Chains A and B, each alone.
Chain A
Amino acid sequence: MANLFNRERRRFEAFIRQHRPGLLGLARRLCARSSLEPEDLVQETFERAMPEFEHLKDRTDSAAAAWLCTTMTNRFLDYCRRQRTETRGLPHLALVQDAALSPDDSQENWELVNTDEFQKAIERLKPHLRDAYRLHAEGKRYTAIAEHFNVPVGTVGSWLTLARRDLKELLLPQVAVAREQGATSS
């Protein structure tokens, strides 16, 4: 029994090690210069993951990452709501439900996409969009990317928006289909 417990624990630790850097990277961007510590946000996310680990451990990496991402986003939105009610002195509103209870559409879509598919999709972007997005994914700021391409900073912003739109359409074809249907029906 003790061995079983230990094995689970080790698996959970490995799970944390695997996903922590990516989540922390996102958390830092969400929390930048707010009173919320990115490390706390990630910590809370793993706290939520612990009781769900029995289900999470057997799922694909992509599904686990999508679950963690949704959970962290929920925690973050909770924080924003609390901030807002605190600054306005309002009572706390109902907080966001946990992902396990109510997986949203976004999560369900992204659970199905793996990193290989992403690699293929990014190769299909227009070269300047692809290179700009790669630099962005390395952590470069808009100014650094703008300098690299010798274009205005505003251009970098729209390139990244376009790159993301194209990536999403390549990765989530059903989204694109739905969009086209919307366009033809209107």
Chain B
Amino acid sequence: MNTPCTKLHLFVDGELSPTEADAFRQHLTRCEECEVGLRDLLQLELLASRALAGTGAEQDDSQKVTPLRPWMQRAYRAAVPVALAAGLAAVGVYRLQAEPRMPSEVFLASADTRTLAARLSHPSADRFRRFEPMRGTSTSSEALPLRPLAELEERQDFRGIASAYALRGDWQQAEAFLARAPESADKDNDRAVVALSRQRWEEALELLGGALRQEPKHPQALWNRGLALQGRGLWEQAEASFREAAEVPGQDAGWAEEALSRANELKEQRETEGARWRNQVKESWQQLAAGKADVKQLAQQPAVARAALYESVRTATTSAQVEALLPLAEELDRVGGGAVLQDYVRDMAARDFSARAPLAREYAKLVAEGKTSPGMLETLRRSKEWDLYFGALVYTGEARKDAEALKALQRFSHGSRDPWLTLVVDRERAWSEAQAGRTDAAERLLLATLRSCEAYDKLFHCAEIN
């Protein structure tokens, strides 16, 4: 029964995973039976949407509109949203009196759940309802009542019109109307919602940064920033943004509750992922320590192997233990290009272990137990074991608080010529910016670091940039 043909209904209902949907689209081109089935199914679904959602209502404006600008020439693609927009204006011209109250269906007020994860700035579109994701993309197919929209246009409330379209997932129309709205934090926020709908996370972040510069406590912008950061994989920042959104007074209690629950979920996810990563590293590290590691196999996961290599070198207490790591360093250098890891291993093997061994044990304790003994950082700083000092500063988060320590990290990473260490230092710099309250600069730096990290393909564990 599990032939592709059995998936037709699931496909049309948006219930397949992206990969399955892709496979089904391919199958469709070869299977006549499914093609016929698809045609029938879509006809039925369209009829159902016309019959049940009442899309036939309120359409008889055709005799009342005034002429529009010429639009039937080229550039038709761009012209239709504009033409529709202009058409609304024309409906408005013929109204004799403006009704002050908007019918609630413009903003889907009668719905008891919402389908849009993001928040729009228009007060009527920002009433809290429980979030329930819909199939395909997040939208309602409820028809737009045109008359009230025309009224909104007469009042030049373009954000209002854009919101009504956005709530129905008609992003092209939403964008066309937002372009006509005057500049404001609210407009930037709503444009970011359009960018979010297209998964353009960085564009959304740019717009939201602009909105928050104008209004640092803009509740919707903080919320949407959380979504964009989450989409971009910066979970810790996303969590912080949701927590900040939760604290803005004067909004529906539901928003604060959902912001907190989103923040908590992100925290949990991050901790689970972090623990999983640390476990992987620990396992490889233990294999290396026991001398049982298969170098080729380890290097198939270069990011894990690299992290395990650093820890193995740092916690080794004899020169021989360090030298034993050379084959892995060579293999990883082969994958990544260059010779930074081999150089590092050779340098460390040549150290005086009567001085290094006790410090390596201290470092191992720090990693195992998560706490420093008094004076440890100071001892490491005075020692020549820069890699242990580096590891300890990152591990304790000290570099984020102490400008001198951060400078030391920069010196070490520069000296090592190891790109991963440079990325780690950039992350620490971003965090120190964040702690100094410069979230804008922190976010820019993190995004740039993340992009550099991703450019190395799978060489590094970029989630650690977060």
Report A's interface with B, CB cutoff 8 A: 6, 9-11, 13-14, 16-26, 28-34, 38-40, 43, 46-47, 50, 61-62, 65-66, 68-70, 72-73, 77, 80-81, 83-84, 104, 106-107, 109-110, 113, 115-116, 118-119, 122, 133-134, 136-142, 144, 157, 160-161, 164, 167-168, 171
Contact = CB atoms under 8 A, between A and B. Distances in A.
Interface residues of B, number: 68
A69 B137 contact: no
A70 B43 CA distance: 8
A97 to B, nearest CB: 13
Given A17-B87, A34-B22, A80-B25, A136 B170 contact: no
Interface string B138-181: 01111110100000000000000000000011111000000000
Contacts of A18: 55-56, 59
Interface stretch (B9-17, B263-271, B273-281, B369-377): B9-17
A24 B170 contact: yes
Nearest to A27: B136
B48 A83 contact: no
B280 to A, nearest CB: 29
Given A18-B55, A61-B56, A107 B15 contact: no
Contacts of B139: 25, 28, 139
Contact of A110 (B9, B36, B47, B134): B47
Contact of A157 (B15, B40, B65, B71): B15
Nearest to A81: B29
Given A21-B141, A22-B55, A160 B39 contact: no
Given A10-B62, A69-B42, A142-B13, A28 B47 contact: no
B407 interface: no
Contact of A134 (B18, B35, B36, B52): B52
Interface stretch (B77-85, B210-218, B232-240, B358-366): B77-85
B29 A32 contact: no
Nearest to B28: A80
B403 interface: no
A160 B84 contact: no
Interface string B37-57: 011111111111111110110
Contact of B18 (A33, A122, A168): A33
Contact of A106 (B25, B40, B144, B146): B40
B417 interface: no
B87 A65 contact: no
Nearest to A43: B77
B77 A73 contact: no
A50 B73 CA distance: 12
Given A9-B71, A16-B80, A47-B77, 12 more contacts: A6-B67, A9-B68, A13-B65, A22-B141, A31-B136, A32-B14, A39-B172, A40-B77, A66-B43, A106-B39, A115-B47, A168-B40
B80 A142 contact: no
B43 A110 contact: yes
Nearest to A96: B35
A118 B54 CA distance: 12
Nearest to B170: A24
Contacts of A38: 137
Given A18-B59, A24-B169, A43-B77, A157 B25 contact: no
A141 B131 CA distance: 13
Contact of B50 (A22, A39, A46, A171): A22
Given A14-B62, A134-B52, A164-B41, A69 B46 contact: yes
16 contacts: A28-B137, A29-B135, A34-B21, A40-B77, A47-B77, A50-B76, A65-B47, A69-B42, A80-B28, A110-B43, A134-B52, A137-B48, A137-B49, A139-B140, A160-B9, A168-B44
Contacts of B142: 21
Contacts of A33: 18, 21
B182 interface: no
B26 interface: yes
Nearest to A19: B55
Contact of B28 (A65, A77, A157): A77
A65 B46 contact: yes
Nearest to A38: B137
Given A9-B72, A32-B14, A115-B56, A21 B144 contact: yes
Given A21-B144, A22-B55, A141 B84 contact: no
Contacts of A107: 39, 43
A6 B70 CA distance: 9
B84 A13 contact: yes
B77 A83 contact: no
A43 B83 CA distance: 13
A84 B171 CA distance: 28
Given A18-B56, A70-B39, A164-B9, A141 B49 contact: no
B57 to A, nearest CB: 9
Contacts of B327: none
B56 A26 contact: no
B115 interface: yes
A167 B15 contact: no
Contacts of A32: 14, 18, 21, 135-137
Contact of B25 (A34, A142, A168): A34
Contacts of B47: 62, 65, 110, 113, 115, 118, 171
B105 interface: no
